[in-house]
Amino acid sequence: MNAGFRIMLVMAGVAIAAQAAAQVTVYERPGFEGRSFTTQEPVNNFSRHGYSNHASSVVVRNNRWEVCTDARYNGQCTILRPGKYPSLAAMGLENSISSARSIGNQARIDDRRYAPVPVAARVIFYERQGFAGRFFTTEEPVSNFRRHGFNDHASSVVVLGDRWEVCEGNRFQGRCAVLRPGRYPSLAAMGLNDRISSVRDVSINARVDDHRYAPAPIADYDFHRRNHERLYEANVTSVRAVLGTPEQRCWVEREEVAQERRSVNIPGAIAGAIIGGILGHQVGGGQGQDIATAGGAVAGAAVGAQIGRGGSQPAVQTRDIERCENVPNQANPDYWDVTYNFRGQAHRIQMTAPPGPTVTVNERGEPRA
């Protein structure tokens, strides 16, 4: 086999391998949840795979893919770069994809045909509720926040591109919760305010039990109705308004403070008793003289004890004293933590406004505006 032919075979193998590596995975629900379908081959009609108009999030690997709203690559078409797309709602393709095909490396594509650049998996922790104060960002697992000076300091979170697991203990120990992509203005709703010590991203293919998820974020999530989907009313079972942390109010008061009395003048009392006794002894005679002597001693002791005390009234001074108290935040709630029941299953979500007796949902129990 000559060298030229050998090179051609190698190049052909590389091309085939690259084409085989290009794949797209569509997921039934936002955030890479629900049923999924993966292909490395062009699909001109998803209905043949039982998946037409059921894609809500997408992962594209190793090459660009074109996705279209109609079969045979017709209708509205968009080019997806390699990466993770946690929601197709942003590009108007929620539950709308009917066909998909990979795009050759040499194909030139007009920039206007591209979807927004996929979001890298990232999580941002903020020191205070409502995304305020210092913040800490990571795209990698962190087994101990103490190394970054942020242990037990997170009060709100923004999750981008993928799911992340947050835990109370180091090395992903203790109580943990899985956060979907979106905005969490307060970690108090899940009992993790100022408690997070470690975090890691959750694999796309990992199956997570519903009870491990935190309440749905108030997120950058499109709650609008999709493609005339059927809507239902779910009964609200509980509503909890979550306020910001209490504010501390301090003031200064001027207060009168009495000086402490000085101790009794013991030497003066003794001297007074002796002198009083001598003077009393000079009065009368016999038993009367003894009584006068005792009375003079007592009186002398009382007078002597007062010597050096500067008067019987204590001196009064004033001083400034700072006092503080925690005052409940009187502002509007940061959000409402809402639980509703749909078809026997409890759902939780954070809302920016209080709900009525029911919330509107689709057939999967997802809220709709």
Res 292: pLDDT: 41
Instruction: Please tell me the distance from the alpha carbon of residue 194 to that of residue 209, in angstroms, as a whole number.
Output: 25
28 shares its domain with 106: yes
Which token pair is 110?
A: 């007009």
Q: Residue 255 pairs with which residues in a beta bridge? A: 319
Position 353: which residue type? A
140 shares its domain with 276: no
DSSP state for residue 228 in the 8-state scheme:
T
In a domain, 4, yes or no: no
Instruction: Please tell me the distance from the alpha carbon of residue 143 to that of residue 66, in angstroms, as a whole number.
Output: 38
363 shares its domain with 237: yes
203 shares its domain with 271: no
Helix (H) or strand (E) run with residue 358 in it: strand 358-361
Backbone dihedral angles phi then psi of residue 337, each to the nearest 5 degrees: -90, 110
Could you tell me the CATH number of the domain that includes residue 38?
2.60.20.10
Residue 119: name the closest of 177, 181, 26 by CA: 181
237 shares its domain with 274: no
174 shares its domain with 212: yes
Q: Residue 176 pairs with which residues in a beta bridge? A: 167
Q: Are 254 and 319 in contact (CB under 8 A)?
A: yes
Tell which of 66, 82, 113 closes a domain.
113
265 shares its domain with 333: no
pTM, two decimals, is 0.47
242 shares its domain with 271: no
Res 119: pLDDT: 67
In a domain, 14, yes or no: no
Provide the number of structural domains found in the chain: 4
Q: Give the strands of the sheet with 198-201, arranged side by side.
A: 176-179, 164-167, 198-201
HEC letters along 152-165: CCCCEEEEECCCEE
107 shares its domain with 130: no
Res 230: pLDDT: 85
Res 254: pLDDT: 64
In a domain, 319, yes or no: no
Sequence-separated (6 or more) residues with CB below 8 Å from residue 121: 84, 139, 160, 161, 162, 164, 201
Position 213: which residue type? Y
Res 269: pLDDT: 44
234 shares its domain with 339: yes
Tell me the residue range of the domain where 355 lies: 229-251+326-369
Position 59: which residue type? V
Going from the first residue of the chain to its last (369 residues), give the mean pLDDT of each consecutive group of 10, the final group possibly shorter: 52 47 84 85 89 84 91 92 82 87 88 80 88 87 91 90 91 93 86 93 83 76 67 88 60 62 48 44 47 44 47 62 63 72 80 81 79
Res 70: pLDDT: 93
Tokens 């007078």 -> residue: 303
